Structure 1
Amino acid sequence: MVNTISKNFAANKRRLDAELMVDDNFDIINRNIDIGQRESCIYFIDGFAKDEILEKLMEFFSDLKKEDLDCTPEEFKNKLLPYGETDLVDKMDDVITRILSGVPCLLIDGYEKVLAIDCRTYPARSVEEPDKDKVMRGSRDGFVETLVSNTALIRRRIRNPSLIMQMMSVGSSSHTDIVVCYMKDRVDERLLNKVIDKIQSIKIDALTMNQESLAECIYRGSWLNPFPKFRYTERPDAASASVLEGKIVVVVDNSPSVMILPTTIFGIVEEADDYYFPPITGTYLRLSRIIINIIALVLTPTFALLMQHPDWIPKGLEFIKIKDTINIPIIIQFLILEFSIDGLRIASLNTPSMLSTPLSVVAALILGDFSVSSGWFNSEIMLYMAFVAIANYSQVSFELGYALKFMRLVILILTGLFSQWGFILGLVLTLLAVMFNRTISGYNYMYPLVPFNFRVLVRHLFRVTLPSSEKIR
Structure 2
Amino acid sequence: MWYSKNKNQKASIPQSSETNQAAESNQKAVIKLKTSLQQNIQTIQNTLGKSSDIVTREIRIGKQGNIKVGILYTDGLTDTASLQDFILETLMLDLNEIDLQEKTSPNQNFISVLKDVALTVGEIKEVTNLEVIITSLLSGETILLIDGYAQVLVISNKKWAERAVSEPTAQTVVRGSQEGFNENLRVNTALIRRRIKDPNLRIESKEIGMRTKTNIAIVYIQDIANEKIVEEVRLRLNRIDIDGVLGGGSLEGLIQDSAYSPFPTIFNSERPDVVASELLEGRIAIVVDGTPFVLVVPALFVQFFQSPEDYNQRTIIGSLVRFLRFIAFGISLLAPSVYIAITTFHQAMLPPSLLISLAAQREGVPFPAFIEVLIMEVTFEILREAGIRMPRSIGSAMSIVGAFVIGTAAVEAGLVSAMMVIVVSITAITSFVPASYEIAISVRIIRFLFIALAATFGIFGIVIGLIALVLHLCSLRSFGVPYMSPLAPFNISDQKDTFIVLPIWKMTTRPHLIGKKNRVKQQDSASAKPAPPKK
Alignment TM class, shorter chain as reference: over 0.9
Which of 67, 75, 78 is equivalent to 2:99? Answer: 67
| 2:180 is aligned with 1:142 | yes
2:154 alignment counterpart: 116
2:244 alignment counterpart: 206
Query: Shift of the alpha carbon at 1:392?
Result: 1.3
| 2:303 is aligned with 1:274 | no
Query: Shift of the alpha carbon at 1:361?
Result: 5.2
1:41 alignment counterpart: 70
2:11 alignment counterpart: none
2:191 alignment counterpart: 153
Count of matched residue pairs: 468
Q: Could you tell me how far apart the structure 2 residues matched to 1:331 and 1:252 are?
A: 44
Write out per-residue CA displacement over residues 442-471 of structure 1, whole angstroms, 9 at most, x where no aligned residue: 221100111111111222233234225655
Q: Which amino acid aligns with 1:164?
A: R
Q: Could you tell me how far apart the structure 2 residues matched to 1:456 and 1:35 are?
A: 67
2:529 alignment counterpart: none
| 2:459 is aligned with 1:420 | yes
| 2:439 is aligned with 1:400 | yes
Q: Could you tell me how far apart the structure 1 residues matched to 2:477 and 2:303 are?
A: 14
Q: Which amino acid aligns with 1:227?
A: F
Q: Could you tell me how far apart the structure 1 residues matched to 2:423 and 2:70 are?
A: 69
Q: Which amino acid aligns with 1:118?
A: S
Q: Could you tell me how far apart the structure 2 residues matched to 1:458 and 1:316 are?
A: 43
Query: Shift of the alpha carbon at 1:34?
Result: 2.0
Call closer, same or farther: CA 1:406–1:359 in 2, change over 3 Å: closer
Q: Could you tell me how far apart the structure 2 residues matched to 1:184 and 1:320 are?
A: 63
Query: Shift of the alpha carbon at 1:302?
Result: 1.2
Q: Which amino acid aligns with 1:417?
A: T
2:7 alignment counterpart: none
Superposition CA RMSD, Å:
2.0
2:88 alignment counterpart: 58
| 2:248 is aligned with 1:216 | no
Q: Which amino acid aligns with 1:445?
A: Y
| 2:49 is aligned with 1:21 | yes
Alignment identity in percent?
29
Q: How does 1:282-297 map to 2 (within 5 A)?
A: 282-297=318-333
Which of 298, 323, 329 is equivalent to 2:334? Answer: 298
Query: Shift of the alpha carbon at 1:383?
Result: 0.6
Q: Which amino acid aligns with 1:341?
A: F
Q: Quick check: 1:245–1:471 contact (8 Å CA) kept in 2?
A: no
User: Normalising by structure 1, what TM-score?
Assistant: 0.93
Which of 266, 270, 285 is equivalent to 1:234? Answer: 270
Q: Could you tell me how far apart the structure 2 residues matched to 1:426 and 1:470 are?
A: 30
Q: Could you tell me how far apart the structure 1 residues matched to 2:496 and 2:351 are?
A: 34
| 2:493 is aligned with 1:467 | no
Q: Could you tell me how far apart the structure 1 residues matched to 2:231 and 2:30 are?
A: 33
Matched residue of 1:121: which SS? coil
Q: Could you tell me how far apart the structure 1 residues matched to 2:236 and 2:378 are?
A: 37
- Unaligned residue ranges in structure 1 (runs of 5+): none
Q: Quick check: 1:41–1:107 contact (8 Å CA) kept in 2?
A: yes
Query: Shift of the alpha carbon at 1:178?
Result: 0.8
Q: Which amino acid aligns with 2:36?
A: N
Q: Could you tell me how far apart the structure 1 residues matched to 2:129 and 2:321 are?
A: 55
Which of 197, 202, 227 is equivalent to 1:189? Answer: 227
- Unaligned residue ranges in structure 2 (runs of 5+): 1-28, 515-535
Query: Shift of the alpha carbon at 1:357?
Result: 5.3
Q: Which amino acid aligns with 1:272?
A: P
Call closer, same or farther: CA 1:350–1:470 in 2, change over 3 Å: closer
Q: Could you tell me how far apart the structure 2 residues matched to 1:315 and 1:452 are?
A: 42
1:450 alignment counterpart: 488
Q: Which amino acid aligns with 1:99?
A: L
Q: Could you tell me how far apart the structure 2 residues matched to 1:407 and 1:357 are?
A: 25
Larger radius of gyration: 2
Q: Quick check: 1:407–1:430 contact (8 Å CA) kept in 2?
A: no
Call closer, same or farther: CA 1:409–1:278 in 2, change over 3 Å: same
Call closer, same or farther: CA 1:129–1:297 in 2, change over 3 Å: same
Matched residue of 2:207: which SS? strand
User: Normalising by structure 2, what TM-score?
Assistant: 0.83
